[in-house]
C-alpha cells in the first residue's frame, strides 16, 4: 500500500501538516539548530543521496542567481528611499 502524505499545495508554498512541522522542530532542537538550519542540512543530505553532482550544481547556480537578483532589488529600493528622503 503506498504511503500517504499530508501535503497541500497553494500558489507559492507547500503547507506541512502540523504533525510534520512539530517533528521537524523536535529534530532541529535535538541537533541544537534552528528549524530553518535543520531543513537546510536535511535538504542537502537528501540532495546528495538523490541528485547527481550536475543537478546539484545547476540548482546551486540558479539559487545564486535568484539571491543576486534579490540583493540587487533590495539595494535599488534602498537607493530609492535615500533619494526620496533627500528630495
pLDDT tens for each residue of 19-57: 888 999 999 999 999 999 999 999 999 999 999 999 999
Please state the domain extents for the chain.
1-50, 52-87
Q: Which of 73, 77, 74, 71 is nearest to 85 (CA)?
A: 77
What pLDDT is recorded for position 56? 96
With a CB cutoff of 8 Å and minimum separation 6, the contacts of 35 are 24, 25, 28
Taking residue 74's Cβ as centre, other Cβ atoms within 10 Å add up to 10
What pLDDT is recorded for position 18? 87
Cell of 7: 501535503
Taking residue 38's Cβ as centre, other Cβ atoms within 10 Å add up to 19
Backbone phi, psi, residue 14, to 5°: -85, 140
Whole-prediction pTM: 0.63
Amino acid at each position: 500500500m503506498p504511503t500517504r502524505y499530508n501535503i497541500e499545495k497553494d500558489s507559492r508554498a507547500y503547507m506541512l501538516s502540523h504533525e510534520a512541522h512539530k517533528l521537524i522542530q523536535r529534530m532541529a532542537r535535538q541537533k541544537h539548530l534552528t528549524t530553518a538550519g535543520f531543513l537546510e542540512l536535511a535538504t542537502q543530505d537528501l540532495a546528495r543521496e538523490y541528485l547527481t553532482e550536475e543537478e546539484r550544481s545547476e540548482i546551486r547556480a540558479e539559487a545564486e542567481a535568484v539571491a543576486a537578483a534579490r540583493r540587487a532589488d533590495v539595494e535599488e529600493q534602498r537607493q530609492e528611499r535615500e533619494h526620496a528622503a533627500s528630495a
